[in-house]
């Protein structure tokens, strides 16, 4: 019999892992000073140390910030601890202002760090950053409990694409990654946040993300989990407070044997004529995937949530559970939801085969299509990850 869905509350003891005291901070280094091995691991999650097409690089390795560099004058990047010292207004107006530090033991742990690790990124008003900024949150040693706190401020009329790659060294199988991210998007500003995860098989991952969007601001969030951890519980919150603000979430999850993944999301459509779209895509080759989320409309707005799952090989305990939700508190809130879970239809595979395409390639094409369906404007980085997932799924997961 299939197990029931677990509740999204922490079920590991942080102190069972290497917590470090966070009492010292090594000197920062340049991106080209990282080892070849580390560079390769991070390239997998979209972080390239040798690329000219990045506006800067930030790296936290285990418990320490090693790199905080910006190539663009209008983009200020600092380790969060340094930023808190430099700017009094950061703690007053932004730090722990979207997330309550006492939400749960994860947030409490992050709040109690003596030297908090994570990035402070501020894109100054009017700065439209051409190339993506890249940040790596990297676990290089075994059994690390990594605690992160990130703040992103996109000032009025500014634009940034942020790629956050989270990965473990390929020999590391266990650990904990805890992250708090607070993001502020100003008037007519835009933040595209592409997050790519590639974890060891026994990692527990607990991101807590919150974003507030002002008038005419745009927030796009793409999340790809390529090699799922033991368990991931992600339910980012967004408040569309300004009129005509918009948010779109797109998540791609590959659930493999033994993993438990909760992919949620909450969007509060408070401003007039705001819009939100939340799309979850999951492929189950074993493991348990829960797709959820709720959109709440309290003004004239449009919102749609769509959960789609494809079951390839669930094994004995694997499943996909989809519960998209909408809550309307206004007569002119137009809200809709849909959910579908299915397998790859054999007639679709055979149709492509009848055009001379090999069965395996036909399956990959269909999976790639399923993950891409109706989603436009994906970056190359995300496309590359989707190709990998399609390839992996088409060939089946090794036991």
**How far apart are the C-alpha atoms of 288 and 371, rounded to whole Å?**
18
Q: How far is the CB of 367 from another protein (least distance, A)?
A: 9
Give the residue ranges of DSSP H helices in the chain.
Answer: 36-43, 80-86, 88-93, 105-111, 346-353, 359-372, 380-395
Q: How far is the CB of 269 from another protein (least distance, A)?
A: 27
Q: Does 365 bind another protein (CB under 8 A)?
A: yes
Q: How far is the CB of 364 from another protein (least distance, A)?
A: 10
Q: Residue 112: exposed, middle, or buried by beta-carbon count in 10 A (0-12, 13-18, 19+)?
A: exposed
CB contact set of 182 (below 8 Å; sequence gap of 6+): 94, 95, 96, 97, 98, 99, 149, 150, 151, 152, 210, 211
Q: Which of 69, 97, 353, 379 binds another protein (CB under 8 A)?
A: 353
Torsion 95-71-217-242 (CA) sign: positive
Closest CA to 97 of 36, 182, 166, 176: 182
Q: Does 366 bind another protein (CB under 8 A)?
A: yes
Q: How far is the CB of 338 from another protein (least distance, A)?
A: 13
Q: Does 6 bind another protein (CB under 8 A)?
A: no
Q: Which of residues 209-238 bind another protein (CB under 8 A)?
A: none
Q: How far is the CB of 356 from another protein (least distance, A)?
A: 4
Q: Does 347 bind another protein (CB under 8 A)?
A: yes
Nearer to another protein, 137 or 344 (CB): 344
Q: How far is the CB of 358 from another protein (least distance, A)?
A: 6
Q: What tokens does 206 get?
A: 């607990």
Q: Does 373 bind another protein (CB under 8 A)?
A: yes
Q: Does 358 bind another protein (CB under 8 A)?
A: yes
Nearer to another protein, 232 or 363 (CB): 363
Q: Does 283 bind another protein (CB under 8 A)?
A: no
Q: Is 54 helix (H, G, I), strand (E, B) or coil?
A: coil
Q: Does 334 bind another protein (CB under 8 A)?
A: no
Q: Does 36 bind another protein (CB under 8 A)?
A: no
- Tell me the C-alpha to C-alpha distance, in Å, between residue 254 and each of 13, 80, 115, 285, 344: 26, 32, 34, 7, 15
Number of separate helices (H) and strands (E) present in the chain: 7, 21
Nearer to another protein, 24 or 351 (CB): 351
Nearest 5°: the CA angle 291, 17, 7 is 25
Interface with another protein (CB under 8 A), residue total: 23
Q: Which of 372, 387, 388, 391 binds another protein (CB under 8 A)?
A: 372
**How far apart are the C-alpha atoms of 12 and 5, rounded to whole Å?**
17
Q: Does 338 bind another protein (CB under 8 A)?
A: no
Q: Does 377 bind another protein (CB under 8 A)?
A: no
Closest CA to 70 of 155, 132, 142: 132
Residue tagged 């819009």 (tokens): 275
Q: Does 304 bind another protein (CB under 8 A)?
A: no
Q: Does 26 bind another protein (CB under 8 A)?
A: no
Q: What tokens does 101 get?
A: 């530090």
Q: Which of 119, 133, 250, 370 binds another protein (CB under 8 A)?
A: 370
Q: Which of 371, 378, 382, 389 binds another protein (CB under 8 A)?
A: 371
Nearer to another protein, 356 or 398 (CB): 356
Q: How far is the CB of 163 from another protein (least distance, A)?
A: 24
* Beta strands at 119-123 and 75-79: parallel, antiparallel or unpaired: antiparallel
Q: Does 339 bind another protein (CB under 8 A)?
A: no
Q: Does 91 bind another protein (CB under 8 A)?
A: no
Residue tagged 């808190």 (tokens): 84
Note the residues at the interface with another protein (CB under 8 A): 345-348, 350-359, 365-366, 368-374
């Amino acid at each position: 019999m299939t197990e029931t869905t677990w509740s999204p509350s922490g079920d590991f003891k942080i102190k069972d892992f290497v917590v470090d005291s966070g009492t010292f901070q090594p000197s920062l280094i340049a991106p080209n000073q990282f080892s070849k091995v580390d560079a390769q691991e991070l390239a997998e999650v979209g972080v390239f140390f040798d690329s000219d097409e990045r506006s800067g690089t930030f790296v936290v390795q285990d418990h320490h910030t090693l790199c905080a560099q910006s190539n663009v004058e209008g983009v200020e990047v600092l380790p969060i601890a340094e930023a808190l010292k430099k700017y009094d207004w950061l703690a007053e107006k932004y730090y722990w202002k979207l997330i309550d530090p006492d939400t749960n033991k994860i947030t409490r742990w992050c709040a109690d760090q003596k030297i908090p690790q994570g990035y402070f990124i501020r894109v100054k008003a009017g700065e439209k950053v051409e190339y993506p900024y890249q940040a790596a949150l990297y676990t290089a040693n075994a059994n690390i409990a990594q605690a992160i706190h990130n703040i992103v401020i996109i000032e009025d009329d500014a634009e940034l694409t942020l790629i956050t790659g989270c990965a473990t060294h390929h020999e590391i199988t266990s650990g904990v990654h805890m992250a708090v991210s607070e993001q502020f998007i100003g008037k007519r500003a835009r933040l595209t946040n592409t997050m790519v995860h590639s974890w060891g098989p026994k990692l527990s991952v607990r991101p807590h993300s919150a974003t507030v969007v002002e008038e005419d601001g745009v927030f796009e969030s793409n999340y790809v989990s390529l090699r799922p951890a033991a368990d991931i519980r992600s339910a980012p919150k967004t408040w569309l407070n300004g009129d005509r603000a918009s948010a779109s979430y797109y998540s791609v999850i590959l659930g493999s044997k033994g993993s438990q993944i909760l992919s949620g999301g909450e969007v509060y459509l408070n401003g007039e004529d705001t819009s939100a779209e939340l799309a979850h895509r999951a492929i189950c080759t074993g493991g348990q995937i829960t797709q959820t989320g709720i959109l709440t409309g309290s003004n004239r707005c449009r919102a749609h949530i769509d959960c789609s799952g494809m079951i390839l090989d669930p094994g004995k305990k694997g499943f996909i559970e989809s519960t998209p939700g909408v809550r309307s508190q206004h007569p002119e809130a137009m809200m809709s939801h849909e959910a579908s879970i299915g397998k790859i239809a054999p007639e679709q595979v055979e149709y492509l085969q009848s055009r001379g395409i090999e069965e395996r390639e036909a399956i990959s094409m269909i999976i790639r299509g399923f993950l891409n369906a109706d989603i436009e404007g994906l970056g190359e980085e995300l496309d590359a990850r989707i190709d990998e997932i399609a390839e992996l799924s088409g060939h089946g997961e090794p036991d």
